[in-house]
């Protein structure tokens, strides 16, 4: 009998829908607006969130119907995860797809959906909704913390 949790014993392609959905840690980082430089392909995170992101829970406020409001919302799939360069380094989909383990604060490991926030990994309290800014000013909101969240915590555990 295999006692390993599913994310250690299955590939992304082998996961059920429920397992797949549970890989989302609820950080909200993928729901931040990003800027891509056309010439270099460099991607920059901003602190501006999708209008559907609930800033407290860091979950989509209309997940099932999100495409009605945000037609260009990117659906993470088993096929496209390896090709999405902007997935945060702490993303469960990215980690499992790369054959790595989930962090201690991931709800599947901790058993508590609040640990992602307590560990300082999430977007909670760090964003402004895109509905509250002039989108022409998006460059004024470029931040690097979505790419560095968890580094201090990892350093402390090392």
The one-digit pLDDT tens for each residue of the chain (158 residues) are 568 999 999 999 999 999 999 999 999 999 999 999 999 989 999 999 999 999 999 999 888 888 888 888 888 999 999 999 899 999 999 999 999 999 999 999 999 999 999 999 999 999 999 999 999 999 999 999 998 887 654 444 44
Residue 139 domain-assigned? yes
pTM: 0.87
Residue 2 domain-assigned? no
Under a CB-based contact definition with an 8 Å cutoff, are residues 53 and 31 in contact?
Answer: yes
Residue 80 domain-assigned? yes
- Is the Cα dihedral 72, 53, 119, 101 positive or negative? negative
Question: What token pair was written down for 76?
Answer: 């993470």
If one counts the domains in the chain, the total is 1
**What is the domain extent for residue 101?**
13-147
Q: How far is it, in rounded angstroms, from Cα 131 to Cα 116?
A: 25
Task: Pinpoint the alpha helices (H) of the chain.
Answer: 6-9, 17-22, 66-69, 92-97, 107-110, 115-118, 145-148, 151-157
Residue 127 domain-assigned? yes
């Amino acid at each position: 009998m295999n006692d390993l949790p599913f994310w250690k014993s299955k590939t992304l392609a082998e996961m059920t829908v429920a397992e797949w959905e549970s890989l989302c840690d609820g950080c909200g980082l993928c729901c931040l607006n990003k800027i891509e430089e056309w010439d270099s392909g460099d991607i920059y995170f901003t602190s501006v969130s999708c209008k559907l992101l609930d800033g407290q829970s860091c979950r989509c406020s209309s997940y099932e119907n999100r495409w009605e409001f945000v037609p260009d919302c990117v659906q993470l799939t088993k096929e496209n995860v390896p090709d999405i360069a902007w997935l945060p380094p702490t993303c469960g989909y990215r980690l499992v797809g790369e054959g790595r383990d989930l962090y201690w604060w991931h709800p599947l490991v901790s058993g508590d959906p609040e640990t992602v926030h307590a560990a300082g990994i999430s977007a909670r309290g760090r964003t402004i909704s895109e509905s509250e800014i002039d989108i022409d000013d998006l460059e004024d909101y470029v931040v690097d913390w979505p790419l560095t969240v968890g580094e201090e915590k990892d350093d402390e555990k090392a």
